[in-house]
Amino acid sequence: MEFVGKKLNGSLWRTWPFVVLYSLLPLSTTALFSAAGLARVKPVQILPPFFVGKFTSDAIMLFSGRYAFHNSAELIYGNFSWKGITCAVIGAVVLAAFLFLDWLALLERRKLRLNFRIWK
């Protein structure tokens, strides 16, 4: 929360991209609002970019869920296509990136590191 609080105390044009990016990532937004409250950040600095980021990430989730639901019948009946296999591989890579990416190192030090000890 200390890292997020420091990022939120910047200028408006540095804060908004950070809040949009933070709300797009699969991180807890409770820490974002807790840090904003502790840092006494004005709501106008947090709410508009948060709604943009959250609306975008929720829309992506809805459309990808709709796509998966409508195309699940192809997998059930054994009709494998290159499109389906490609989407499954890309989905597995994205899921692995979310699970094994060291988010703290990426956000604080801007270094891309993988952490395979996720069960600790």
DSSP string, 36-91: HHHTT--GGGTHHHHHHHHHHHHHHHHHHHHHHHHTHHHHHTT---HHHHHHHHHH
The pLDDT value recorded for residue 87 is: 82
Write phi, then psi, for 40 (nearest 5 degrees). 55, 50
pLDDT at 59: 92
Given this model, what pLDDT does residue 51 score?
Answer: 93
Rounded Cα gap, residues 52 and 58, in angstroms? 10
> What does the pLDDT look like over 43-99, one tens digit per residue?
888 889 999 999 999 899 899 888 878 877 766 666 667 777 888 889 898 888 878
